[in-house]
Amino acid sequence: MSKEPVAVTGIGQTKHVAARRDVSIAGLVREAARRALDDAELTWADIDAVVIGKAPDFFEGVMMPELYLADALGAVGKPMLRVHTAGSVGGSTALVAAGLVAARVHGTVLTLAFEKQSESNAMWGLSLPIPFQQPLLAGAGGFFAPHVRAYMRRTGAPDTVGSLVAYKDRRNALKNPYAHLHEHDITLEKVQSSPMLWDPIRYSETCPSSDGACAMVLTDRAGAARSPRPPAWMLGGAMRSEPTLFAGKDFVSPQAGKDCAADVYRQAGIKDPRRDIDAVEMYVPFSWYEPMWLENLGFAEEGEGWKLTESGVTELDGDLPVNMSGGVLSANPIGASGMIRFAEAALQVRGQAGEHQVDGARRVLGHAYGGGSQFFSMWLVGDRPPTS
Amino acid sequence: MTREQARGAREIAVVAFAQTDHRRTSEEHSEVEMLMPVLHDVLEQTGLKTADIGFTCSGSSDYLAGRAFSFTLALDGVGAWPPISESHVEMDGAWALYEAWTKLLTGDADTALVYSYGKSSPGSVRDVLTRQLDPYYVAPLWPDSVALAALQAQALIDAGETDEPALAGVAARSRAAATTNSHAQLRGSVPHGEYVVRPLRTGDCPPIGDGAAAVVLAAGERARQLCARPAWIRGIDHRIEAHGLGVRDLTDSPSARLAAEKAGVFEQPVDTAELHAPFTAQEVVLRKALRLDDRVTVNPSGGALAANPIMAAGLIRIGEAAARIHRGESDRALAHATSGPCLQQNLVAVLEGDPR
């Protein structure tokens, strides 16, 4: 079975901010879509189908918003799919869209993910009481903090590593015009002295709540040939899921994450991710997840991820830059956050990441996860089309 | 997919289908408990285990469950360990099937498990569905789903396309057909009832109920191994229309017609059509758009007027059509699913059995 190669020829984002009061949800998504079309130098008429994703509908209080958004995204008369896989949804949405091209069902697909958190209250949206289930532990940080603790205990990582990640990502964000947080006066000391929210996670080591959208134009080989700018080529993509809670689940390094990465590497012919991959956009909503995912994704041996971070390898000018855009720590429109990782990976291999461009980035991984570290979606993009 | 594209691509079939008995309430069961027997049933039909399935995709809506991320726990019912390749659409399961179909087309998987479920009983589904509408200009007015369907029915009557006795006839035929469907919620002779919202009476509206469904897809030879007479998906396509009712002709369904054309429906006659028409008047609209005449057996299961578990009712149409092919009762069937107010979004599939 040969698949059609999939290329990214258009990328658009909104400037992520705490509240976009100047636009409706429709206005927000249209802005990102329009920018992606402009980047690809295409019009709405060139799009064969639309695949849209976002995190739970309760975040804006609109049930199945794709119905209302059909007009704003030029989808009338076209197929429109709505993906929802919790926090990994931005990545999954891009993969579903890529699947339409790879299967040769459609030639050119617009994919978009968004969250307009200011329309509602995400904390409330996640906090509805469910019979016979544990109440949510004071937001996502409450859920993830014990797993960070487990990581520190398991690996002996010094408690300074988390602040290094936050300090790095917030500095990287200063080079990304679309990032939500632009903290020009950031220092390591400021991160380290910020209030403790969920021990060991400090205020400055957490993601913001953002309004924002991200869109991409995905197309086939013929579409890529017409692209005015260098395309990014999908070399591998995969999703993996495991149950939320069960005895034996490794919350520090979930098996689904490992399997997902292994599948992507197999497709892309990656033998040694540490050597063969030039940079990574990974889903790090709490700073400690950088060293944790470095291990889960095979960039470091178990217990060694924090050493990569501590030694500066993951800095923008390091040997394996991580979250060049500033990452989820600097902008978190939840449903879009995964797609932003995928899109930023594509920007890098297209050489269009501007001030946060990594020189010579040829193969870059985009990574997203969601739920209780149970849903994973990833893709690896490159500057050359796949050879097999 | 257009039929030109479908030629030369790998053949994919529905090889098994299972559904719950649909009921007004299922408060004694969680969503997972409601789903589990269906998942077991559909896997037992094929002899497959969770670990044998190449791709899993589900459809559901958080708004029915009344909580965010409701689908994450449904995944527990699948037994996703070791980890599985899995995805979810916040749509009717018919669209989950579409995603799974594209996955099989790429060759990344040979089998797929598709499931969907909806429990309408915890809330007022008429009110809940108002939250689907434009959140700034329409939803604040709380126009409920029956009222919107009534607008469509009245437009159809005003256009001379139908009348109230004809609509009553649609309801009576559907519920008579459902007498042979042990899963249906409403069966047999049901009084047409009082007006709910004019011109729609109780009998013109679907029952509100809870239910789940699951389907197994397989590609090529794998399908033949798993099923004596696979229901081959010869074409499947879906289209959406504008959201604003004021810019649509409610007496027509251009999106259903276009999806049918792309799916290849009009190339040869179908003998069966399972239509997802929750309201009687919508069957009238769909029959016209899909060019179904009296030679076609429409909704032999009783359709959505006999059982309409939201988010599963569309997948059930595909399952019912496929099951008729499995049983040798159909050779070429049309299956349809809808979403959104007044048939805003429509999916059409053509299923065929091997020649006998």
ipTM over 0.85: yes
> Which chain A residues touch B82 with a CB distance below 8 Å?
242, 255, 259
Is the pLDDT reported for residue A132 higher than 70? no
Task: State pLDDT tens for residues A210-236.
Answer: 999 999 999 999 999 999 999 999 999
Where does residue B47 rank: exposed (0-12), middle (13-18), buried (19+ CB within 10 A)? Answer: exposed
Is there a contact between B344 and A70 if contact means CB atoms under 8 Å apart?
yes
Is the pLDDT reported for residue A64 higher than 60? yes
Q: How far is CA B36 from CA A271, B74, B313, in A?
A: 40, 9, 18
Where does residue B180 rank: exposed (0-12), middle (13-18), buried (19+ CB within 10 A)? Answer: exposed
Is there a contact between A99 and B85 if contact means CB atoms under 8 Å apart?
no
Task: State pLDDT tens for residues A253-280.
Answer: 999 999 999 999 999 999 999 999 999 9
CA B319, chain centre distance (Å)? 8
Q: How far is CA A210 from CA A10, A42, A178, in A?
A: 23, 28, 11
With vertex at residue A372, the alpha carbon angle to CA B311 and CA A96, rounded to the nearest 5 degrees, is 50
Residue whose C-alpha is closest to residue A268's, from A143, A168, A385: A385
Is there a contact between B88 and A25 if contact means CB atoms under 8 Å apart?
no
Helix axes B280-289, B145-158, angle to 10 degrees: 60
Residue whose C-alpha is closest to residue B115's, from B186, B65, B40: B40
Is there a contact between B61 and A63 if contact means CB atoms under 8 Å apart?
yes
Query: Burial code of B260-270, b = ≥16 C-beta within 10 A, e = fewer?
Result: bbbbbbeeeeb
Q: What is the chain B residue with the closest CA to A73?
A: B242
Considering CB atoms only, which of B67, B79, B87 is closest to A239?
B87
C-alpha B98/C-alpha A157 separation (Å) is: 46
What's the pLDDT score for residue A85?
96
Is there a contact between B345 and A2 if contact means CB atoms under 8 Å apart?
no
Q: What is the dihedral of CA B328, B330, B336, B342, to 10 degrees?
A: -120
What's the pLDDT score for residue B4?
47
What's the pLDDT score for residue A120?
86
> Which chain B residues touch A334 with a CB distance below 8 Å?
none
Interface size, chain A vs chain B, as Cβ–Cβ contacts under 8 Å: 193
pTM, 2 dp: 0.97
> Which chain A residues touch B80 with a CB distance below 8 Å?
241-243
Q: Are B94 and B337 in contact (CB under 8 A)?
A: yes
More confident residue, A139 or B193: B193
Helix (H, G, I), strand (E, B) or coil at A166: helix
What's the pLDDT score for residue A1?
58
Is there a contact between B81 and A244 if contact means CB atoms under 8 Å apart?
no
Substitution target from A30, A47, A76, A124 for chain B, most B beta carbons within 10 A:
A76
Tell me the pLDDT of chain A averaged across its residues. Answer: 95
Q: What is the chain B residue with the closest CA to A100?
A: B102
Considering CB atoms only, which of B85, B95, B131 is closest to A239?
B85
Cβ-Cβ contacts under 8 Å for B327 (sequence gap 6 or more): none
Contact A80/B at CB under 8 A: yes
CA distance A67 to chain B (A): 6
Substitution target from A54, A68, A120, A374 for chain B, most B beta carbons within 10 A:
A68
Contact A253/B at CB under 8 A: no
Residue by residue, pLDDT tens for chain B (356 residues) are 444 454 468 999 999 999 999 999 998 898 999 999 999 999 999 999 999 999 999 999 999 988 888 898 888 889 999 999 999 999 999 999 999 999 999 999 999 999 999 999 988 999 999 999 999 999 999 999 999 999 999 999 999 999 999 999 999 999 999 999 999 999 998 889 999 999 999 999 999 999 999 999 999 999 999 999 999 999 999 999 999 999 999 999 999 999 999 999 999 999 999 999 999 999 999 999 999 999 999 999 999 999 999 999 999 999 999 999 999 999 999 999 999 999 999 999 999 999 98
> Which chain A residues touch B341 with a CB distance below 8 Å?
67
* Average pLDDT rounded to a whole number, residues A164-188: 98
